Amino acid sequence: MMLGEESEPARTWEQVGNEALRRGMKRIVMMGAHWETLEDAVEVSMNPDPKKLPMGGVRDDRYLPYKLAPDIEGGQEVLERLRAAGINARAAPKFDWIHDTLLAGRHPASDAPVPPDTWALQFRQAVEDAILRNKGPEVRRALSRLMKHPRFRDAHGN
């Protein structure tokens, strides 16, 4: 939902993307979080005109106007490198973009380490406490209560 709402993760990705552009970054390679293949192979998106799959809970004006810019030349380079490393890889010429791809494409990441914000450390501590300080059915209830934590949505931005 990071494209549809203001959130700490959305602001962080925007800052990282702006910094990458400022430094002249030319290309990014990403692996989507929502993918599957029918065979034992890595698929590389090679669709020159991908469509955007609908994003539930997000206003159309937050993502439909964004112009997709697939990098077919970069995709070919990725295919060649994967194959050279002995990885079964193939082109996916009909792949359409889903929200995890859109998000990273809109705000690309650099490889510089980004320390977590205080809110993220506090949420992490709440998760650790829920798991380590409970036993049996109490763990399930404690983890369920985390969904009411004020930073739950920010911690699960996409």
Alpha-carbon span 76 to 84, nearest angstrom: 12
- What is the tens place of the pLDDT at every residue in 129-140? 999 999 989 999
* pLDDT bracket for residue 26 (50, 70, 90): confident
The per-residue pLDDT for 29 is 77
- Structural domain spans, the chain: 8-106, 118-155
Half-sphere exposure at residue 68, Cβ-oriented, CA atoms within 13 angstroms = 22
Alpha-carbon span 8 to 38, nearest angstrom: 36
* pLDDT bracket for residue 35 (50, 70, 90): low
Alpha-carbon span 1 to 58, nearest angstrom: 7
Instruction: At 24, list the tokens.
Output: 């002249």
Q: Give the SS3 label for residue 19.
A: helix
Of 1, 156, 12, the closest CA to residue 63 belongs to 1
User: Which residues does 33 contact at the CB level (< 8 Å), separation at least 6?
Assistant: 100, 158
The per-residue pLDDT for 141 is 92
